[in-house]
Amino acid sequence: MLGNSTAKILMKSIYNEKTSVVLIIVILLPFLKANNKIVFHFYDEKYVKQEKFSHTDRRALTPSKYVKMKFNGHEHSKCIECRKYIIADKNDFLLNFKNSDTDKSDILIYLNQKILAYKDFLYFLKILDGASEYKENFTIHDFMKYLHILDIFKFQKDKVFHRIIRILLLSTIFNRNGSHNELNSDIKICVSPSLLNIIFYEFGKIKFFGKKIFQENKSESEVKRILNQNFDLSYSPHTEFIYMNSSLVYKIKQSIKTNPEFIYSFEPIFAKFTFRKIILFYDKFICEIPCSVLNILFSCVEEFCFYYWNDVFSSETITEILVSKVLRNLIFIRCRFHSFSETFFGKLRSLESIYFYDSHFKRIKFPNQFYASLNALQNYIFTEITSYENTSNLLEKSNLEPYKITCFNIDLVTKSNKDLITIHDCQPNVFKVYSYNILCFNLSIFTFYIGIINLDKIRKVNIFLKNVLIKGMMLSNSSINLNIQKLQISDSRLTDNFITNILMFPNLKKLFILKCTILFPKGKYTNNESLREVFLSGNTFENSLYIFYFINSMPNLKSLIYIRNSSLCLFTYPDTEKFLDLKYLQKLKIIEKKMFKPSLPIISRFYSLIELDIGNEYEEGSLLKIFLDKKLAFLRNLSINRFGIGIHDKQALKDCTKIQSLCFLDCKFIKISFSELFDIKKEYLIDNIFFYDNILTKNDIEFLSNLKHLKSLSFEIKTSFSFPIEWFKYNLMKIAKLQVRIEISKDLYQELNQFKEVINSYNLKIYTY
Reported as a single tens digit per residue, the pLDDT across 504-563 is 999 999 999 999 999 999 988 999 999 999 999 999 999 988 999 999 999 999 999 999
What average pLDDT does range 415-437 have in this prediction? 80
Average pLDDT over all residues of the chain = 82
Euclidean distance between CA atoms 243 and 435, whole angstroms:
23
Predicted local confidence at residue 718, as pLDDT: 74
651 has a pLDDT exceeding 80: yes
671 has a pLDDT exceeding 70: yes
Predicted local confidence at residue 363, as pLDDT: 75
Predicted local confidence at residue 471, as pLDDT: 94
Euclidean distance between CA atoms 686 and 710, whole angstroms:
6
Radius of gyration (C-alpha) of the chain in whole angstroms: 32
Euclidean distance between CA atoms 703 and 686, whole angstroms:
12
Predicted local confidence at residue 127, as pLDDT: 85
Long-range Cβ contacts of 185-188 (<8 Å, 24+ apart) = 187/272, 188/271, 188/272, 188/273, 188/274, 188/300
Pairwise pLDDT comparison (333 vs 724), residue with the higher score: 333
Element (H, E) at 483: none
- What are the backbone angles phi and psi of residue 673, rounded to the nearest 5°? -105, 165
Pairwise pLDDT comparison (189 vs 637), residue with the higher score: 637
12 has a pLDDT exceeding 60: no
Euclidean distance between CA atoms 660 and 674, whole angstroms:
16
661 has a pLDDT exceeding 90: yes
Question: Residue 78: CA atoms inside 13 Å, Cβ hemisphere, count?
Answer: 15
Element (H, E) at 485: strand 484-490
Do residues 546 and 520 lie in contact, with contact meaning Cβ atoms separated by under 8 Å?
A: yes
Report residue 418 CA to chain centroid gap: 34
Do residues 550 and 523 lie in contact, with contact meaning Cβ atoms separated by under 8 Å?
A: no
Residues 6+ apart with CB under 8 A from 404: 444
474 has a pLDDT exceeding 70: yes
> Which residue from 543, 535, 631 is spatially nearest to 587, judged by alpha carbons?
535
Do residues 469 and 493 lie in contact, with contact meaning Cβ atoms separated by under 8 Å?
A: yes
Q: How sure is the predictor about 586, in pLDDT bands with cuts at 50, 70 and 90?
A: very high
**DSSP state string for 578-631:** SS---TT--EEEEE--GGGTTPPP--TT-TT--EEEEES-PPTTHHHHHTTT--
439 has a pLDDT exceeding 70: yes
Q: What is the pLDDT of residues 85-100, one digit of tens each?
A: 999 888 889 898 887 6
Do residues 479 and 460 lie in contact, with contact meaning Cβ atoms separated by under 8 Å?
A: no
> Torsion angle, CA of 139/142/148/149, rounded to 10 degrees?
-150
Q: How sure is the predictor about 584, in pLDDT bands with cuts at 50, 70 and 90?
A: very high
Euclidean distance between CA atoms 296 and 277, whole angstroms:
14
Q: Give the rounded percent of residues in the chain with a pLDDT score beyond 90.
A: 30
Local structure of 347: helix, strand or coil:
helix
* CB-based burial label for 712 (10 Å; 0-12, 13-18, 19+): middle
Predicted local confidence at residue 547, as pLDDT: 92
Q: What is the pLDDT of residues 611-648, one digit of tens each?
A: 999 988 888 999 999 888 888 878 999 999 989 999 99
Euclidean distance between CA atoms 561 and 235, whole angstroms:
31
**DSSP state string for 391-442:** HTTEE-TTT-PBP-PPPP-HHHHHHHHTTB--GGG---SSSEEEEEEEEEEE
720 has a pLDDT exceeding 80: no
Residue spans of alpha helices (H) in 649-765: 698-705, 725-731, 749-759
Predicted local confidence at residue 3, as pLDDT: 47
Most confident of 25-34, 679-688, 729-738: 679-688
pTM of the model: 0.80
Report residue 65 CA to chain centroid gap: 23
Pairwise pLDDT comparison (333 vs 130), residue with the higher score: 333
31 has a pLDDT exceeding 60: no
359 has a pLDDT exceeding 80: yes
Predicted local confidence at residue 373, as pLDDT: 84
**DSSP state string for 55-100:** TT-TTTTEEPTTB-GGG--EE-SS-SS-EEEEES-GGGSSS-BTTG
> Which residue from 365, 275, 359, 366 is spatially nearest to 323, judged by alpha carbons?
275
Terminal Cα-to-Cα distance of the chain (whole angstroms): 94
Question: Residue 630: CA atoms inside 13 Å, Cβ hemisphere, count?
Answer: 4
Long-range Cβ contacts of 456-460 (<8 Å, 24+ apart) = 456/373, 456/423, 458/483, 459/229, 459/230, 459/483, 460/230, 460/485
In this structure, the strands spanning 62-63 and 74-75 are: antiparallel
Predicted local confidence at residue 576, as pLDDT: 55
Question: What is the torsional sign of CA 478, 484, 489, 494?
Answer: positive
Do residues 464 and 440 lie in contact, with contact meaning Cβ atoms separated by under 8 Å?
A: no
Predicted local confidence at residue 208, as pLDDT: 79
Residue type for 430, please?
Answer: V
What average pLDDT does range 120-136 have in this prediction? 83
Euclidean distance between CA atoms 322 and 760, whole angstroms:
44
Euclidean distance between CA atoms 22 and 16, whole angstroms:
10
Euclidean distance between CA atoms 613 and 611, whole angstroms:
7
Do residues 203 and 213 lie in contact, with contact meaning Cβ atoms separated by under 8 Å?
A: no
Q: What is the pLDDT of residues 161-187, one digit of tens each?
A: 999 999 999 988 888 754 444 544 566
Q: How sure is the predictor about 331, in pLDDT bands with cuts at 50, 70 and 90?
A: very high
Do residues 514 and 488 lie in contact, with contact meaning Cβ atoms separated by under 8 Å?
A: yes
Least confident span in 186-195, 294-303, 338-347, 710-719: 338-347
Predicted local confidence at residue 504, as pLDDT: 94
Q: Give the rounded percent of residues in the chain with a pLDDT score beyond 70.
A: 84
Q: How sure is the predictor about 49, in pLDDT bands with cuts at 50, 70 and 90?
A: low
Predicted local confidence at residue 30, as pLDDT: 44
155 has a pLDDT exceeding 80: yes
324 has a pLDDT exceeding 50: yes
